[in-house]
Structure 1
């Protein structure tokens, strides 16, 4: 899968595409974001967190679909909390939301073409060439005349990603882009995302820790509306260093424990003396981090 066809390549721009300081948002008594501060540069950044942690709320703010109650934000050098800044960001942004809001009567081509019109691609011939380019990039050449209602869930997800790629954006904000895709499709999309991250900022929210390990230069973990970790995937895995071990039987005191395909059990938590330690994975570090976060919150309540 390649995005090279007819796509202009940009030189490396500013080192920081997104800078958020103290973003806070509340829905009634619920705090969705609690002072989120982060910076995103060129490359793929993975966003991890439990369901309800605030990931989608953060992505919607970065994509100018939602405004925070407090905090400051710069996206691609503009302030999206102002009218002119918001328009400038949207012209250079690609956004894949959790629910793209398809019109089922549209074909794949018509839907992406509609998005291209909203992105101010007014010349019909050039616009249609761009629509064909992005549909090809996501592997939908043969389905571009198929109506949305006749496509599988995975194909609909690819249509939504194609729409996000319209105009070769400088920033991509992708909310669960691989949901509904089979393993082969996810592998192809990893190739696509890696290529996209060579010269632009890509923020990828996912529950697939293997995608983060394979693709991301940076990973951010958000839980209970706050950033709990920001660093490399290796650094996240390192949080579980010395906390992963194997044994013949399940360890009831472990944070997580399961039988592997070898018949042995893998445990994450506090190992007993003399345990056979294993190298930690990014998933192990994530489990340790979220558990410590929960323990800190419970202890302070």
Structure 2
């Protein structure tokens, strides 16, 4: 099935939100389908605000939003969305005295899983899905940061939601923990929609079928990772020395420099990556404005 023929899971049009005099989001429009969509952007871009709006935790000042076919601006619409939503915020608000099982069980109760036996089976299922079945009886305060993140993900998975909204789920994890999370998230993206906020372009390359770039509260890009990388086509080259005036220039493992920006005549061009495209997209306007 092509994306054009698929049914949208989330459709946002003209979302705008201000905190006092500060514009957090301005005229944000995008569409989500099944699969994993990465939300990229620098600090302060408005990613967490946007995810909170999609997760029905925050209403926009303006604009329209459809989530799973419902309008979250209405009480009935919000309830319908929340019954089919899994949300992992940056700070899950753990009670440190809870065990992993007790915390996920508590969230499952909030999700209206009222039958005790069926609920406990579901809690066991999601803890196993994130690799924590052996840690179910340990208290939250005794778990590592990576394990706590997996507990929070298990809580988001309770009830088998159709839409997962994950806000920086791999922050603070070591490389092994991050790889484990990637495996879980990739599997979760099969047959449902996952919106994943991240600073890591490598996560977008590894996991995402689509990507949205948010910068300064506005959408700068929406498309495939390959399309994002293409923004830097013809703008990445290698050299034997650092190039003054390049947007970015660093020494690679082979001892040569990888440069992003405006290449000199005759430069040896390289195939661009998602990171290169992202740098061109979010950093070029700042350079133009400052005259650098």
The TM-score range, normalised by the shorter chain, is over 0.9
The one of 18, 21, 33 aligned to 1:26: 18
Does residue 170 (structure 1) correspond to residue 162 (structure 2)? The answer is yes
Contact in 2 for aligned 1:19/1:39 (Cα 8 Å)? yes
Q: Deviations over 1:25-49 (max 9, x none)?
A: 0001110000000110111000000
Which residue is 1:72 aligned to? Answer: 64
Offset, 1:295: 4.9
Q: After TM superposition, where is structure 1 displaced by more than 3 Å over at least 4 residues in a row?
A: 293-296
Q: TM-score, normalising length from structure 2?
A: 0.95
Structure 1 residues 285 and 253: CA distance shift in structure 2, 3 A = same
The DSSP-based 3-state class of the residue aligned with 2:165 is strand
The DSSP-based 3-state class of the residue aligned with 1:51 is coil
The DSSP-based 3-state class of the residue aligned with 1:102 is coil
The DSSP-based 3-state class of the residue aligned with 2:118 is helix
Which residue is 2:252 aligned to? Answer: 260
Which residue is 2:49 aligned to? Answer: 57
Which residue is 1:123 aligned to? Answer: 115
Taking the aligned partners of 1:247 and 1:60, their CA distance within structure 2 comes to: 44
Which residue is 2:106 aligned to? Answer: 114
Which residue is 2:78 aligned to? Answer: 86
- Which consecutive residues of structure 1, in runs of 5 or more, have no partner in the other structure? 1-12
The DSSP-based 3-state class of the residue aligned with 1:114 is helix
Does residue 154 (structure 1) correspond to residue 146 (structure 2)? The answer is yes
The DSSP-based 3-state class of the residue aligned with 2:246 is coil
Does residue 46 (structure 1) correspond to residue 38 (structure 2)? The answer is yes
Offset, 1:188: 2.4
The DSSP-based 3-state class of the residue aligned with 2:91 is coil
Which residue is 1:230 aligned to? Answer: 222
The one of 77, 94, 97 aligned to 2:89: 97
Offset, 1:195: 1.7
Q: Deviations over 1:247-285 (max 9, x none)?
A: 111111100011111111111101111111111000000
Taking the aligned partners of 2:232 and 2:256, their CA distance within structure 1 comes to: 19
Contact in 2 for aligned 1:228/1:293 (Cα 8 Å)? no
Q: Deviations over 1:80-122 (max 9, x none)?
A: 0111100110000000000000011111111000000000000
Q: Deviations over 1:3-53 (max 9, x none)?
A: xxxxxxxxxx97100000100000011100000001101110000000000
Taking the aligned partners of 1:180 and 1:145, their CA distance within structure 2 comes to: 23
The DSSP-based 3-state class of the residue aligned with 1:287 is helix
Does residue 248 (structure 1) correspond to residue 270 (structure 2)? The answer is no
Taking the aligned partners of 2:152 and 2:173, their CA distance within structure 1 comes to: 13
Taking the aligned partners of 1:131 and 1:293, their CA distance within structure 2 comes to: 48
Does residue 270 (structure 1) correspond to residue 262 (structure 2)? The answer is yes
The DSSP-based 3-state class of the residue aligned with 2:12 is strand
